[in-house]
Every structure is written in structure tokens, then in C-alpha cells.
């Protein structure tokens, strides 16, 4: 689309008028992004990644590199863990971004953001973000409900339990569990 969007021109958008990539044969590639801090990546995150990868041609899993708070793992460590645990998903790309997620989407021809919802309490915040992202760049947000096995799972909870010696081996992929053990080992 050139010179404006269907929404700003006051007409109903036609399917395919979103930012999507093209294949060599001229077809479209359905690209989505799954953003997060992933500090660390949990089995809940991995479940959303795998499910999104079944539904889309490419899934970009991106770590926000300009996070205000200090993480347990550096951005590069998180990227390495994500690459390791998604190695079996050929259509998953792992990257980082700075600034606005919608700018990353525009630069990579990504038409939608995937967000996992664990509970109703997640919805209000995510809905505000979805509406702002659409307002800024007409990037859609797709909500996926968490697998009930992981509906309580948050990275911050995993870190807290692990810091006190609790067993989080069933909550994170095995390579991540090993990294947690090494990072939180008593001096």
C-alpha cells in the first residue's frame, strides 16, 4: 500500500494489505513476532512459540534489549538459550530489538504480534498495548491462551523459587534449568 492505509483512508482494509513478506514465487509469508524478556525462557514461553510456529510461516522470538531493569541473564545469554530451545523449529528466528516493537515489525515485514495470556489479569494490559500498536503502525495482536499446565508460570516466579533452592526443572527447558543452576549456585 502506498500513500496511506485503508483505515486512514476511511475504507475497509482488503485481506493482504498488511505488512507481509513475499516469497520468490510472489506468494505471501505470514510473519509474526513473539516479544518478551525471556529472563529466563520457560516451558510456558516455549509452548506459545511452538504453537505459533504451527500456525505461521515464520515466528520471530525477540528479546527487548532496552529493558529498564537488570536481568538475571544478559540479553546475549537469553538469545543463546532461546536459540538452543527452539533449534527444532525451523521457522523460528531469534533476535533482539531496541525501541518500539512496531518499528521492528515494520523493518522485518511482520504483520502481527503474538501474546500469551495466562489469566484475565493479563488481558487488560495486553489489550492497551495491542490498541496502541495498531494505532501506531496498524500491527495486529494475536492472543493465545496459555496451556493450563503453564497458566501460573512467570519467569520472575521461576527465578524466585530457584534462588531459594526450589526445584524448577519441570518449569523450564533442560538447558535453561542447567543455566539457572550454574547462575544461582552458592559461592
User: CA 157, CA 148: separation in Å to the nearest integer?
Assistant: 17
According to the 3-state scheme, what is the secondary structure of the chain? CCCCCCCCCCCCCCCCCCCCEECCCCCEECEEEEEECCCCCCHHHHHHHHHHHHHCCEEEEEEECCCCCCCCCCHHHHHHHHHHHCCCCCCEEEEEECCCHHHHHHHCCCCEEEEEECCHHHHHHHHHHHHHHHHHHCCEEEEEECCHHHCCCCHHHHHHHHHCCCCCCCCCCHHHHHHHHHHHCCC
Catalytic residues: 45, 69, 118, 155
Instruction: Confirm if 142 and 113 have CB atoms less than 8 A apart.
Output: yes
State the distance between the two ends of the chain, measured CA to CA, in whole angstroms: 58
Amino acid at each position: 500500500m502506498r500513500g496511506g492505509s485503508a483505515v486512514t483512508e476511511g475504507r475497509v482494509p482488503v485481506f493482504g494489505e498488511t505488512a507481509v513478506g513475499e516469497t520468490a514465487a510472489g506468494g505471501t509469508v505470514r510473519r509474526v513476532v513473539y516479544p518478551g524478556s525471556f529472563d529466563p525462557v520457560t516451558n510456558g514461553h516455549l509452548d506459545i512459540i511452538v504453537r505459533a510456529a504451527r500456525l505461521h510461516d515464520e515466528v520471530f522470538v525477540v528479546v527487548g534489549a532496552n529493558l529498564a531493569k537488570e536481568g538475571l541473564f544478559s540479553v546475549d545469554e537469553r538469545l543463546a538459550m532461546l536459540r538452543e530451545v527452539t533449534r527444532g523449529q525451523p521457522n523460528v528466528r531469534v533476535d533482539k530489538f531496541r525501541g518500539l516493537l512496531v518499528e521492528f515489525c515494520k523493518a522485518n515485514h511482520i504483520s502481527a504480534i503474538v501474546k500469551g495470556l495466562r489469566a484475565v489479569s493479563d488481558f487488560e494490559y495486553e489489550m492497551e498495548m495491542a490498541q496502541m500498536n495498531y494505532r501506531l503502525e496498524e500491527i495486529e495482536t494475536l492472543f493465545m491462551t496459555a496451556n493450563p499446565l503453564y497458566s501460573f508460570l512467570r519467569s520472575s516466579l521461576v527465578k524466585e523459587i530457584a534462588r531459594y533452592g526450589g526445584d524448577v526443572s519441570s518449569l523450564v527447558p533442560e538447558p535453561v534449568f542447567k543455566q539457572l543452576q550454574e547462575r544461582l549456585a552458592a559461592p
